[in-house]
Amino acid sequence: MSIAALLDRAEVPAAFDRAARHYDRLVGLNPGYHAHLRSAARAARVAGPGARVLDVGCGTGASTRALLSTLVDPEITAVDASAAMLEIARGKPWAASVRWEHAAVDTLSTAVVGGPFDVVFAAYLLRNVPDPDATLATLRTLLRPGGTLVLHDYTLAERLRPRVVWTAVCWSVIIPAAWATSGDTTLHRYLWRSAREFDSPSRLRRRLLDAGYTPVGVETVGGWQRGVLHTVTATVPRSPRRTS
Ligand SMILES: C[S@@+](CC[C@H](N)C(=O)[O-])C[C@H]1O[C@@H](n2cnc3c(N)ncnc32)[C@H](O)[C@@H]1O
């Protein structure tokens, strides 16, 4: 069965609409979730104090909170295509330097969200979009020359262990927890399959280089998610790409 048979990528924001009220409780059951987001957000420190940051696929604001707690005086624009996820995010207390936008990533332009940005942060997003290459191209137009794209997601290394661990944890912990919390496992069975079918870290690195980002760095985390969860940091070159 392909991802499309479970959930078409264009339907992912609607699936998050349905899952939104359970989302914070479910990620709270993952002990490393917020710490890993903060560690990924540290990659954005390169932009310095007062950075203009786009948090795309911000969901209920977990990634936004990680950025706020890690960066010095950031100005954050947080965007999501799911109205219900965004409504939960907006209902939490925030600094005045955070603003919210309901939009799909591929519709973004500086006219919609402002910018250019020093940093684009996308946690658990790229695996879900209909056309990842188009998304990377869009995000590049939103970054200033020298700006940084930080991707944080389940991207399984091309080794047996991370793939076996991912399947074992999904079916023994994550999917049963989704059932116990919400009575619906569609989104989490999709999560399992989408990570298995999406890029390995090296394939993602290649995709970013082909999209004109350079250099591109890849880091994984410790514990059972080693080789499963990665933070990928990619820079928009200061000078335009040579075509000859
Ligand atoms: C797994 S959640 C991650 C939320 C948050 N970044 C975090 O770290 O907790 C993925 C989010 O991406 C959003 N999303 C999925 N496809 C999208 C798209 N095409 N454009 C914008 N947001 C999208 C979903 O609505 C969802 O809120």
Query: What phi and psi, each to the nearest 5 degrees, are found at residue 219?
Result: -135, 145
Determine the residue of 125, 150, 186 to mutate for testing ligand 1's pocket, defined as the one with the most ligand atoms within 8 A of the Cβ atom. Answer: 125
Instruction: Give the pLDDT confidence of 104-148 residue by residue, as tens digits.
Output: 999 999 999 998 999 999 999 999 999 999 999 999 999 999 999
Residues 6 or more apart whose CB falls under 8 angstroms from that of 62 comprise 24, 27, 33, 34, 37, 123
* Ligand 1 proximity of 16 Cβ (cutoff 6 Å): yes
Instruction: Give the pLDDT confidence of 47-100 residue by residue, as tens digits.
Output: 999 999 999 999 999 999 999 999 999 999 999 999 999 999 999 999 999 999
Determine the residue of 3, 55, 80, 151 to mutate for testing ligand 1's pocket, defined as the one with the most ligand atoms within 8 A of the Cβ atom. Answer: 80
* Ligand 1 proximity of 135 Cβ (cutoff 6 Å): no
Instruction: Give the pLDDT confidence of 5-35 residue by residue, as tens digits.
Output: 578 899 999 999 999 999 999 999 998 999 9
Distance 93 CA to ligand 1 centre (A): 20
- Which amino acid belongs to residue 122? A
Instruction: Give the pLDDT confidence of 194-214 residue by residue, as tens digits.
Output: 999 999 999 999 999 999 999
Atom index in ligand 1 nearest the CA of residue 17 equals 25
For domain 3-235, give its CATH number from 3.40.50.150, 2.102.10.10, 3.30.230.70, 3.60.15.10.
3.40.50.150
Strands 117-123 and 98-102: unpaired
Distance 170 CA to ligand 1 centre (A): 19
Distance 105 CA to ligand 1 centre (A): 9
Domain boundaries, the chain: 3-235
What pTM value is reported for the model? 0.95
